[in-house]
Chain A
Amino acid sequence: HKITSSCKHEATLSSTNQKAACSRSPGTMPGPYRETDLTEKVEAFLSDLKRGGSGTGPLRGSAETARETTALLRRITAQVRWSSAGDLMEVIRKEGRRMSAAQPSETTVGNMIRRVLKIIREEYARSRGSSEEADQQESLHKLLTSGGLSEENFRQYFTALKANVIEAINELLTELEGTTDNIAMQALEHIHSNEVIMTIGRSRTVEAFLKDAARKRKFHVIVAECAPFCQGHEMATSLSKDGIETTVITDAAIFAVMSRVNKVIIGTQTVLANGGLRAVNGTHTLALAAKHHSTPLIVCAPMFKLSPQFPNEEDTFHKFVSPHEVLPFTEGEILSKVNVHCPVFDYVPPELITLFISNIGGHAPSYIYRLMSELYHPEDHEL
C-alpha cells in the first residue's frame, strides 16, 4: 500500500510514532464525511508531508506547509458535520495527530492546528458572551476559588459559530501570507552600510530580509555552505544575482572568518518554547563562534514557527537522514565497519541568541514564553 511503502524509505529515528501512523489504515476516519474528496485531499497532504521532509531542504518551505495546513483545516471545518465546538475540536485534534505523526519534524503543522484550536475556543467564548481573558487566564486565585478549571465541555450550539470560525481562519491565512514581507520590512532597522553579515544554509525569510535591505544599503554577505546538502550555494547564487556582494565559505572556516563579521542573521526550522532553536546542523557552532567574538546573533522567524515543544526529549529531537550523504557507497569495504551519522538539526540554547525578528516585531529570547501563551492554549500543548 502506498503509505506503508513510503514508510520504508524513511530513515527517521522517531520511528515509533511514524510506524503507528503508517499501520493505521486510511479507512478509520472519525465522523461521517459528506464528500470523499475531502478524504482524498487529506491523504494527499499526508503523503506529501511524508515524502517532502527528507531533510535535503524541504520540497516545500515551512510557510507553504503552514498555509496548506490551515487551508485544509478550514476545509474540514466547512465540510465535516459537527454540532458543537467540542465536536469540531475533537475532529481537528484527531486529524492533527495524524498530520503531525506523518512528519514529526515538521512542527509548523502542529503549530497551525493549535492556532486553529485556540481560534475555536475564542470564538466559542465570544459567542457565549463571556470575555476571553477571564476564561483563558489560569491564575492561582481562580484555581483556588473555582476548584476545577474550565468545566467547559464546549457542548453548546451556536449558529454563527461556524461562520465566525471560518472567518477567523481566513484572517489567519492572510496573516500567514504576509509574514515574509513583514519581516523583510524591518531589515533596514538592523543592517547598516558596509556591514559584513554571515548566514548559514538557505532560509527564504533571511533571503527576503537581505534582499530588502540591499535595495538601500551596500553590505557584504558571507554564506556558510552547510554540508552535506550545501543549500548555502543556492542562497549565495540568489543573493549575488540581486547585486549583493557574496562569499561562499566551507563549514570548517566559520570560526576562522567570524572575527570580521559584524552580525549573524539566520533562519530556523522551529523556535522552541524556552527560546532555543531547532535549526539546520552547524548552527550551534555558528552561534558559539558568534558568542566568542561577541557578535550579535539575529534569528528571523515568523510566528508560525513557534512551537510549545521543549528540547528535553533526546530521541525525538533529532532527525537523521541517509548516511550516504556523508560517506557515499563508493567508499567500499570500510562502510560495514564504520558508524556514520548524518543529523539534520541542531539545538541552539537561548543564551546564544540576541534577538528574534518575527512578523510582529523584534523580541528577546526571554519573551518567547509570553508570546506562546498568547498564541496557544495550554491544554492544546499535547494534541
Chain B
Amino acid sequence: MADSGVSGGADKKDNIEREKIEGKELTKEEKQRLRKEKKQQKKGKEKKDASLPQVSVAETAAPASQLKAERRARQEAERTSKQSKKGDTGQPATTSKPKIPPNELQPVVKRLPEHIQVDDPDVLKKLAKKLERQQIPRRLDYGYKVSLFSHLLQYSRKAPLTQQLSIPSAVIHPAIVRLGLQYSQGIVAGSNARSIALLHAFKQVISDYTTPSNEELSRDLVNKLKPYISFLNQCRPLSASMGNAIKYIKKEISNIPSQFKEDDAKKKLLNCIECFIEEKIVLAAKAIAKSSIEKINDGDVILVYGCSSLVNHILCEAFEKGRKFRVIVVDSRPRLEGREALRRLVQKGISCTYVLISAVSYILPEVSKVFLGAHALLANGYVMSRVGTSQIALVAKAFNVPVLVCCETYKFCERVQTDSFVSNELDDPDDLIVTRKGETQLKDWQQVPRLGLLNLVYDVTPPDFVDLVITDLGMIPCTSVPVVLRVKNVDLL
C-alpha cells in the first residue's frame, strides 16, 4: 500500500494540502505518505549505496515499522561491508528478521531539551520541522535577550500561542488548548497546580478518546499525546513535576494489555491518574504536614517566601492543631506571589507580617525558622525553586536560622545543575516595567540599544544552605536525594 502511494502522488498531495488548510487532522496514511515523499526526495539526492539489496528483506506488515526496518537493514549492510573490508570471516549479515545493533553503552546524556538550546540553529530547525509535522504553531522570541541567557527562550505574555491556532482546532483537544493558555498567561502557576491541571486535562482527553480501527490503544494513545505535550511545551516549558507525571502516564498507557476492551482500558487509565494525584500530591501533603508540625513550636516566628501550596498547607494545619506562631511572608517583584499566600494565611487567622525581599536582612533577626517550597530537587542535592529562594537561604545561613525545604517525592528529578544559568526559564521582560509617581523609567527599553531586562523564574540553592528536606518519605538531608531516586526507580520497575 505504501509503495503505491508514490505513484498516485499528485492527487493525494492536493488532498493533503487542502486538508491541512482546513485544519483537519491528517490520517495516519497521509502522514505516512508525506514522510515517504520527503524521504524519497532526500534519497534521490544521496549517492546510491550499492549494498542496499537487503531493503526488500523487510516484510513486516504495519507501515510504521517499515522505515525502521529500512534503517536497520542499512546499518546491517554497512556493518557487513566494513567487516568484509577488514577481511574477517564475515558472519551472515542478516537473518530474515533485521536485528537491532547492540548498544553496549546506554547514552549517558539524555537528549537535551530544545528549550535550552535556542542558540543552536540546527536544533531550532529540527524543532520547527517537528512542530510542523505535529501541526503546532511555534512561539517566537520576544525582545532583546541578555547575552548570558541567549540559549533560553523568552516569550511575551501578550502573544500567546493560541492566537496562531485556527478555531476550532481539530489537532489539539480543546481542554489542552485551554490549559496551554492558562499556563502561558500565568493563570495556573506553581508546580503542584500545574501538574494537577495537566492530569485533569489528560483525563478529559482520555475519556474523549476513541481508538481508530486498526490501532492498538496502548500505542496510539501515546502518539496522540505527543503533539499535546509539544503544544504545552511551546506555551510554557514543562516543569520537572509535569515531566514525571507524563512519564508515569505514558508508562501506564503502554502497560495496558492488548486484550482490554476500550472502555475498560479507559476506566483503568482514569483510575491510575486519580491514584497518582491522590497518592503523590494529596496524601503526600498530609504526610509532610504531619512531620513538619513536629518542627513547629509554640512562639515560633516562621519565614516563608512566595506562595508554595505545600508550605501554606503545612502552616494552616499547624494552626488548626493549636500551635501558636506567627508568620513573616517575604515577597518579590515582579510576580508578587506572596500576596496570595498572605491572603490565605490571614483568612485562617494566622498573624502575619509582610515585607519585600530587600528587607530580609532587617527582619531576619526576629525569625526562628525558614520554610521554603521547592519546584524540583536535583540529583546532586541542589534545590530548584522560585528565584530568590537561594538568597533567602543565604541570608538565613548568615544569621544562623535553620532552613527547611518541603518537597513531595514526585518532584525529585535526575538532572544535575550547579548554577542558575544553564537550565532556567526567562519570563516576559516587560514585567519589570513599573510606573512610580507617574514616571515609567523603562517604558522604551526596547529602543535603547544596550539595555536588557532580565526576568528569571528559577534559581538553584546549594545544599549547604539547606538544613533539612521534609518529604513524604520522611525527613532527609539534601544529599540523600539520589538515594530516594534510586529507591523509587527500583519500585517502578
Contact = CB atoms under 8 A, between A and B. Distances in A.
Interface of A: 56, 225-230, 233-234, 236-237, 240-241, 243-257, 259-260, 281-282, 284-285, 288-289, 292, 318, 326-327, 331, 334, 337-343, 346-347
Given A227-B333, A246-B451, 16 more contacts: A229-B436, A233-B434, A236-B451, A237-B451, A249-B454, A250-B454, A251-B388, A252-B388, A255-B394, A326-B356, A327-B339, A338-B346, A338-B352, A340-B355, A343-B359, A346-B361
B252 interface: no
A51 to B, nearest CB: 15
Interface string B323-343: 000000000111000010011
B352 A256 contact: no
Contacts of B359: 281-282, 341-343
A234 B453 CA distance: 13
B450 interface: yes
Closest 3 CB pairs of A and B: A252-B388, A282-B358, A233-B441
Given A251-B332, A285-B360, A237 B390 contact: no
B450 A256 contact: no
B363 interface: yes
Contacts of A56: 437
A327 B354 contact: yes
30 contacts: A225-B333, A230-B436, A240-B450, A244-B450, A246-B451, A248-B432, A249-B456, A250-B332, A250-B388, A250-B454, A251-B333, A251-B388, A252-B333, A252-B386, A252-B388, A255-B391, A257-B456, A260-B148, A281-B361, A284-B395, A285-B361, A288-B361, A288-B395, A326-B356, A327-B354, A338-B346, A339-B352, A341-B354, A341-B355, A341-B362
A288 B398 contact: yes
B146 interface: yes
A326 B129 CA distance: 47
Given A340-B355, A341-B355, A250 B432 contact: yes
Given A256-B420, A260-B421, A227 B358 contact: yes
A246 B146 CA distance: 9
Contacts of A227: 332-333, 356-358
Say what secondary structure dominates the interface of chain B: mixed
Nearest to A348: B361
Contacts of A289: 391, 394
Given A248-B442, A248-B452, A250-B332, A256 B459 contact: yes
Contact of A285 (B342, B358, B445): B358
Contact of B356 (A234, A243, A251, A260): A251
A282 B362 CA distance: 9
A327 B343 CA distance: 12
A222 to B, nearest CB: 8
Contacts of A253: 387-388, 454, 456, 459
A3 to B, nearest CB: 25
Given A237-B441, A255-B459, A256-B459, A248 B451 contact: yes
Contacts of B358: 226-227, 251, 281-282, 285, 346
A256 B387 contact: yes
Q: Which of A237, A248, A284, A334 has the most CB of B within 10 A?
A: A248
Q: Which of A228, A240, A244, A253 has the most CB of B within 10 A?
A: A253
Interface string B377-401: 0000000001110110011001000
Interface in B443-468: 445, 448-456, 459-460
B362 A343 contact: yes
Contact of A338 (B353, B432, B450): B353
Contacts of B353: 338-341
B22 interface: no
B419 interface: yes
Given A247-B146, A288-B395, A331 B339 contact: yes
Nearest to B144: A247
Nearest to B440: A233
A255 B390 contact: yes
Given A233-B442, A338-B346, A326 B333 contact: no
A334 B345 CA distance: 10
B260 to A, nearest CB: 48
Contact of B354 (A254, A338, A346): A338
B394 A292 contact: yes
A257 B421 CA distance: 8
Nearest to A238: B441
